[in-house]
Structure formats: structure tokens, C-alpha cells
Amino acid sequence: MTLGAVLMVQGTSSDAGKTLLVAALCRYFSDLGYAVAPFKAQNMALNAVAVAGGEEMGWAQVMQAEASRTKPTVEMNPLLLKPVSDTVSQVVLRGRVVGDFSASEYQAFKATAFPVVLEALATLRRRYDVVVLEGAGSPAEVNLRSTDLVNMGLAAAVDAPVLLISDIDRGGMFAYVVGTLALLTDCERARICGLVVNRFRGDLERLQPGLDSLSQLTGVPLVGVIPYLSGLSLPAEDSLGITAGAKKVWDLDVAVIRLPRIANFSDLHILGEEEGVRLRYITGTRELGRPQLIILPGTKNTIADLAWLKETGLYEAIAIAVAGGAFVVGICGGYQMLGMTIRDRHGVDGAGGVASGLGLLPLETDFLPEKTITRVSGETVEHGEALEGYEIHFGQSRRLGGAPFARLTGGDGNYYEDGACSEDGRVMGTYLHGLFDAADFRCGYLNRIRKACMLPTKRPGLSAREKRESSYGMLAVAVRQHLDCDFLRKLLHKEVEKR
């Protein structure tokens, strides 16, 4: 059985544009008729997504899988690091939690993880014609080389040709490229078969002499210069990229509580994109204002973040806002917080203990050592709107009254009731991540808020999926316009035949 071809993208610095280039290449090769999959050995991010098998993986690879027109599977991102504190991360291997590791503990663990990473990639190569690999950070962090499994260490193990991408917008691009090559070993350097210059604005003619001498100097051919792209509708991978702004006409003001250990907030990106909605992330009572909707997102540590809510005064402020007519949605950890009590008898959620919640929903939560990770679908109880998404949580919540939010079917085929709604419907909580992805529910819910606030209702617009689809199209066009496509094809054709 032949293995799929591999091609890797590495960057000369963080934020050089690797993730988008991989998505663009995935869509481009998919357009050519190949079965394509993305792959990143290790991701450090809090935006995890549960996939069909019930495992969690990084958001970026889910997005890239969508660009590849394939279903995301955990093999595409076998290692996931979720920062718990500044020095400790929860390590997730093939979608399953291994434990909390310090930086040095993790370095030691990598030796154990590497075979698993390689097996995951081999699985993908058996299923797909082309696998596009993404590196992390810079491959020239020579102090980390000995344990590398995400950049050159991986490229060597699977003999992948590497495209190096460099961001020219901040200056010093030539030095970053030359220096990266200089710090690599001869074998590593030989893997780099092309350079992509990213985020160029200006006159290409003036840049050309510099690019020519760079190619001469390094012997690495230029594959293309990608201009500064704007207008893409894809959420950022990690918390650094949180964007929410006042950049549009809005009638609904949505305040998301920016919990210190906020997790899986890429759910909410889509709400901010909705016409008429202003989405803001807030950290204190001062910024709360008078939003019509408050969202308590997921968190890595419910009890600690609940204590933070109390410290900041948001605990009272949210209750006051609800009394004043605001709507509240709690998702996952935020849902747990809306209840009466949260008990962590086994120290699953941190140090353990019991905490009293906001008391806005008749609900009790117990933390149990087993983690629920499942893809689910179903409908809302009251309005029958279709829902689809995933659950990732440790706690189990018990409703003591009121109505459930949704009727869902999990990955195991079991049918159950999820979430809770207050009697007047203004407070609602659920374990379902991605609930706003469903256009019917999203528009229906926002319009219910509008009605309650005596605002005119709006007709549904493009769904998030449709918007992302057009972004993938734009990326593929950028590849065709600005990269040497013959070169890309040759790079693959050495090994690949269309199936």
C-alpha cells in the first residue's frame, strides 16, 4: 500500500502565517482532486475541539481539515498542550488527557510521545494522497533541537520536503531566512526546498533584486510572495488573537466574560460576525456596561474562575444585570457556574472543594474523574431548532427544576437532555460547544433577545460555515496567483499518483 505524499510548512518566527498557508495548500491540493489532510504534531492552545471519535484536538487543524474538505480526526493533531498556569500544561495525547506537566517534565515525555505522533501521521498517509504538515514557532530554536518532534525532527523522520515561510511586514525578513538556514544542520538545511514570503505590501519590482540575491545566497528557490490578505473570516488559533470590536453598526451588545482560564471560546467567534451584534470580551465590572446578552464561556478551572468572578465583583454585577433584564448564556464551565453548587470531591477541577455558583439556574454540578468527550447533535426543547456540536467536560450537572435546553444524541447513540433554562427563558446554560454554529438557533435566539428588548428582528444571514468556505476559496486563489504552482505540483509528483 502506498503512503500519501508529505509536504511541510515551517516559519522563521511565530505568527509568520504557517496556519493559513497550510489551509491554503490543503484547499489548493483538494481543488486539484487529491485527498488531502493537515497535520500538526503538537499544538499549544486552549481552543480544543472534540471530533467524531470523541477526542479533542486543536482548532487550527479542524479548520484546515475543513479547508481540505475532509472530516477532522485526532491523528491530525496527536499532541495538544493546554496551559493550566504559566508553567504547567495539561498534555493531551491522541485526544486523551495524559496529565499536567511542567516544561521540563514535558521535554522528557516527548520521547514517549514521538512514536505515537509518527503512528498518527502514518495512519493519515495510508488514508490520504497528500498530508500537509505544519511546524511550530521557528525551527532554529537550537536550544530545543534535541527533543524536537514538531519541526525538523518530524520532517527528518518522515522525509518531508519543507517550505519555509517568512513574514516581511515587520522587517528583517532576509536576516530571519539566512539566520534560520545558518542555524540548521546540513541535513536539515537540505530539507528546505522553497521559500514563501508572506504579508508583502509595496512594489514587488523593488523587492525583486533582494529576493534574487537571497536565492543565490541560500540556494533556496523562491516559491512566491503572498500579499497582505484581508477580509478572511477564520477565527484566530489562540488567545492572543482574540478580536472583538466596535467596528460595525450593532443593536445587540454581547459581553463575554473573559475568564482567566477561558477555553473553547472559538465557539463565539461566529456570534461576533453576526450582523447587528457587537461582541466584547470583558474582565471587570467597569467594562460591563448594559449588554443585552452576557456569555459565560468555558474554562479550564471552574472553581478558580468562579472565585475570580467574586473577586472582580462580576458575580454581583451579573446578577444585577439579570435582574435588569439581561439574557445570560453559560457554556460548559460557564453553565456550571450558573448553578447553585459545584462540588469537586476528587480534586479533578484543581485543588478540589465546594463552591456556590451564581444561583441563576436550579442546578448542581459534581466533578468526576471521568471526562466526557463526545460529538453530539439534537434540537432545542422549546423551539425545535437543530443543534450540532461537541462536549468536553469533567463535571456532571443535575437539574433540580426548570426546563432542559436541548435534547441531544451523543456519539454512543444515547439520547439525553442537556442544559437548563430559567422560567422566563432569560438565563440558559448548556454543555454544548459550538451551539451558535447552527444558523437556525443562532438567529432564532438573537431575535428572541431582540423581541424582549423591543428591537426589530433580523433575517438570517450567511452561516459561519458558508463564510469560512468563501475564505478557503480566497486562500486557494492566493496560492494559484502568487505561488509557483508548477513547483508545488512537482514537489508532490515525485511520489504521488492520483488515486
Partner 1 sequence: MVAKNERKLAATIMLQGTASHVGKSALVAGLCRIFMQDGYRVAPFKSWNMALNSYVTADGGEIGRAQGEQAEAAGIEASVHLNPILVKPKGPGQAEVIIRGHHYRNVDYETRSQEAYLNFSLQIIGESLALLRRDFEIIVLEGAGSPAEINLQHQDVANMKAASLASAPVLLVCDLDRGGALAAAVGTMLLLPEEDRKKVAGFIFNKFRGEFAILEPALKIVQEKTGVPVLGVVPYLAQTGLGEEDGVALDCSYTNVEHGADQLRICAIRLPYIANFTDFDALAREKDVSLFYASTPEELVGADAVILPGTKNSIAAMRFLLESGLALGIKELAGCGVPVVGICGGYQLLGQSLADLTGGEGGGAPLLLSGLGLLPTETIFYPQKRVRRTNATACLPFAVTEEVDGYEIHMGQTERAFGCAPAFLLENGTEEGAVSADGTVWGTYLHGLFERPAFRRSWLNTLRARRHWPLLAATAPEDKGSRFDLLADAVRSSLDMSAVYGLLSLPGPRKGGKL
DSSP strands (E only) in 169-258: 192-200, 222-227, 250-257
Burial class of residue 88, CB neighbours in 10 A (0-12, 13-18, 19+): middle
Which three cell numbers, joined as nine digits, stand for 463?
452561516
12 contacts partner 1 (rule: CB under 8 A)? yes
Nearer to partner 1, 15 or 417 (CB): 15
Smallest distance, partner 1 to C-beta of residue 431, A: 28
Of the residues 1, 159, 186, 209, which one makes contact with partner 1 according to CB under 8 A: 209
Residues 16/166, Cβ–Cβ less than 8 Å: yes
Query: How many residues sit close enough to partner 1 to count as binding (CB under 8 A)?
Result: 53
Q: How far is the CB of 180 from partner 1 (least distance, A)?
A: 4
Residue 13 interacting with partner 1 (CB under 8 A): yes
Q: Which of 85, 185, 243, 414 binds partner 1 (CB under 8 A)?
A: 243
Strands 250-257 and 293-296: parallel
Is 193 catalytic? The answer is: no
Should residue 189 be labelled a site residue for partner 1 when binding is judged by CB under 8 A? no
Q: Which residue number, 171 or 231, has a Cβ lying nearer to partner 1?
A: 171
Quote the CA–CA distance of 482 and 226 in Å, as a whole number.
Answer: 6
Which CB atom, from 97 or from 183, has the smaller least distance to partner 1? 183
* Total H helices, total E strands in the chain: 15, 26
Write the Ramachandran bin of 289: left for phi over 0, alpha for psi from -120 to 50, otherwise beta.
left
* 204 sits near partner 1 (criterion: CB under 8 A): no
| Cβ atoms within 10 Å of 382's Cβ, excluding its own | 15
Maximum pairwise Cα distance, the chain: 73
Distance CA 151, CA 167 (A): 18
Q: What is the CA radius of gyration of the chain?
A: 24
481: its cell numbers: 496567483
For residues 105 and 423, which CB has a smaller minimum distance to partner 1 in the complex? 105
CB atoms within 10 A of CB 100: 14
Q: Which member of 26, 193, 332, 421 is catalytic? A: 332
Spatial distance between the Cα atoms of 17 and 167, rounded to a whole number of angstroms: 7
Name the segment binding partner 1 (CB under 8 A); options: 185-193, 201-209, 337-345, 387-395: 201-209
Identify which of residues 163 and 332 has a Cβ nearer to partner 1 in the complex: 163
Helix, strand and coil in the chain, % to nearest 5:
35, 30, 35
Name which of 4 and 135 has its Cβ closer to partner 1.
135
Among residues 108, 126, 228, 290, the one that binds partner 1 under rule CB under 8 A:
290
Stretch of 175-183, 350-358, 407-415, 485-493 contacting partner 1, by CB under 8 A: 175-183
Stretch that binds partner 1, among 58-66, 181-189, 359-367, 455-463 (CB under 8 A): 181-189
Cβ neighbours for 349, distance < 8 A, ≥ 6 positions apart: 301, 302, 303, 342, 367, 394, 395
Q: How far is the CB of 291 from partner 1 (least distance, A)?
A: 9
Confirm whether 433 is a catalytic residue. Answer: yes
Q: What is the dihedral of CA 303, 308, 311, 314, to 10 degrees?
A: -100
Binding mask 88-127 for partner 1 (x = CB under 8 A): ---------------x------------------------
Smallest separation (angstroms) from partner 1 to the CB of 58: 18
Q: In whole angstroms, how close is the CB of 183 to partner 1 at the nearest point?
A: 6
Compare residues 137 and 298 and give the one whose CB is closer to partner 1: 137
Query: Does position 282 bind partner 1 by CB under 8 A?
Result: yes
Q: How far apart are the first and last CA of the chain?
A: 12
* Residue 182 in the binding site for partner 1 (CB under 8 A): yes
DSSP state of 48: E
183 binds partner 1 (CB under 8 A): yes
Among 33, 115, 210, 221, binds partner 1 (CB under 8 A): 210
The whole-angstrom distance between residue 395's C-alpha and the CA centroid of its chain comes to 22
Question: Of 247-255, 403-411, 426-434, 473-481, which segment contacts partner 1 by CB under 8 A?
Answer: 247-255
Which region, left, alpha or beta, applies to residue 94 given φ > 0 means left and ψ of -120 to 50 means alpha?
A: left
Q: Interface with partner 1 by CB under 8 A: which residues?
A: 11-16, 103, 137-138, 140-144, 170-172, 174-183, 203, 206-211, 213-214, 217, 243-250, 280-282, 286-290
Residues labelled catalytic: 332, 433
